[in-house]
Structure formats: structure tokens, C-alpha cells
Structure 1
Amino acid sequence: MQALDVIEEDPRWAGLDLDTLCPRAMRATLAHLSLDADTAEVTVLACDDAHIATLNADFRDKPTPTNVLSWPAEERGAARDGELPLPVTPGFDNMLELGDIAISFDTCHAEAEAAGRPMADHVTHLIVHGLLHLLGYDHERDGDATLMERLEVEILGKLGLDDPYRDDAVQPPA
């Protein structure tokens, strides 16, 4: 990735090697969508439940922790349910400024344990999920959710990871 900043605010993330996991998940996602990862700019904040709850309250009026949050650099959402989002266009410097992602250790760890999945696999899923949000994909409407989940399953499959939406898997990210 050209410009990927991973900020590990919570020391518990140190054991997960986000500096390898994040670029791998992001490269797979961008390649799947025929986008050049070498021109993408993304920041990932690896924090705890307390910080993500504050962010969730500030930006979504939901004062509770969540697993992942995303702030796209620009709105790209599809106008109609189930359609593709607006295409990503490079900026004046030919870079794809995508946005920011925050991910909470506490919630991710609890979800991974509850599903009996490796933490790295669950975090990979959430990074893919967050990046898809930055690219304009969403799951608020049924058609959009179907499209986004299908992409997640395809991308994770290419990474050798199981379908996170199987019956025994973790519930979809918030």
C-alpha cells in the first residue's frame, strides 16, 4: 500500500502484527475491485472499546462500543439499493484518498472468541468490511447488504479464510 498508516493506540494489538495483516487485507480487497493498492491512502486506528465508544457517540450518536467504524474521504454510496457505489477517482496527485478506519480490540476479541475463530481472521474480515465502507459499500438496505456480504466472502475466500456469514459465524459488523 502506498500510504497506509496503522496507529496502534492499544498495546494489546502488538501481538497481532497489524502492519502485515492490514496491507494484506487491503491489497486483496482493492485487487478484487480492480483498484491499484499502490495509489491508495488509508489510516487504521487500532484502539479499545472506550475510545471507539466515544467515536461512535461523536459520529453516529451511538454511545456504545462497536467492532469497526469507517470514515470515507468522500461519499460514494449507491443511489439505488443493490447497485454499485460511485467509482473511486484519483485526486490531483493520482492518489486514491479513501479515508479512515477505527477498530476496537475488546469487541473484536470478544466476537472472535464467541465464534471460535482466530482473532487474525476476524480482524481481517473487519478490515475488509471497513475498507468496503470507505469505497461506498454499505449494508443498510437489503440489496446493498447482499452485495457487500458477497464481496466480503469472495475477498476472504481469496485470502483462504472461511465465510464469516455462515450460521456459526460472528454476526455482521455494525
Structure 2
Amino acid sequence: MSSMRVFQLGLRRAAAPAFRGNFAGRMVQRRLANSQSASQSSAEEILVKQRVNRPVSPHLTIYRPQITWYGSMFNRLTGIILSGGLYVFGFAYLAAPTLGWHLESQSLIATVAGWSAFTKASAKFAVAMPFFYHSLNGVRHLVWDMGRAMTNKAVMQTGWGVVGASVAASIYYGFFV
């Protein structure tokens, strides 16, 4: 322990008896405040008057929407959709034998084989779109983590690039594969 610290502790111990009271030797800092009790209704009136003078933070409606807003929102939504779908199917697959559902591969293949071509393509697109958007936007964030493409122009270009690439990849895998 340094000599300065020893000196400070010694001073505190020497001064402690002067501050004893209900605190049994602990040093307590006192701050005297002038206050008065108020009834519930007058306290609420004071609070309402204070709220009137508080600054109000601007609402989103005064700003022009930007690709970063939509990108962040859709990245979160697609993450929820993908993980939620995985959990729902996982729990359904585990509960299937007990509930009498047939979620074996053969049953699923037979069910999907009975769908029309448009229904199959739409289902594949509905799964592909969140997957591609979330994946490509994740790559975009990794690029940002490396400190690249952080200018306003690059952020807008990569945002719209992710949207375009996601739609193109989803249409390709949904309707042509």
C-alpha cells in the first residue's frame, strides 16, 4: 500500500469519531436540503408544470425515411422470421409423434409434390427472401466492422445493393431452381 493511501486512511480513522451517530463509525457526507412536505395533489401539479417545460424529442415522422432505417428493421424482422421458423418446426417435429402428425421426410415430400408449381415457387421464395436478405445484410455489417464503406454514399449504395441482390437471388432460387 502506498504511503499516500496509508495517510488518507489514517486521517479518515482519526476524523471518524467526530461523525459518529447512527452510523457506528462510518464516515457520512451530509447534504442539507431545504424541503417541505406536499400533498399528493400539489405534488402532481408540480410534476405536470415541470413536464410542460421539458424538451420533447422529435418523432420519427419529421425525418425523411432512409435505407438504413428499413435495412435495420428488415434485418431484425428476417432474423426473427428465420429463427422463429426454425424453432416452430423443431418443436413441431419433436411433438409430431405424440400428436400424431406426420412430419417425416416422405410425408413432407408427398405433400409438397401435390402443390401447384406456383405454390411451390411462392413457398420457396417466402423462405429464400428472409434468408438471402439477412445473410447479405450480415455481410454488409461485417464490411462495416472492418471500417469500410462507411460514407453516406457507400451506405446507401450497399443498402440498395443488398435489397437488389436479395430480391434477385430469391427470385432465382424460388422460381428457377
> Fold match, TM over 0.5?
no
User: Under TM normalisation by the shorter chain, which class is it?
Assistant: under 0.3
What TM-score do the two structures reach when normalised by structure 1?
0.24
Whose radius of gyration is greater, 1 or 2?
A: 2
Greater per-residue helix proportion: 2
Q: Which has the higher contact order (CA 8 A, sep 6+)?
A: 1
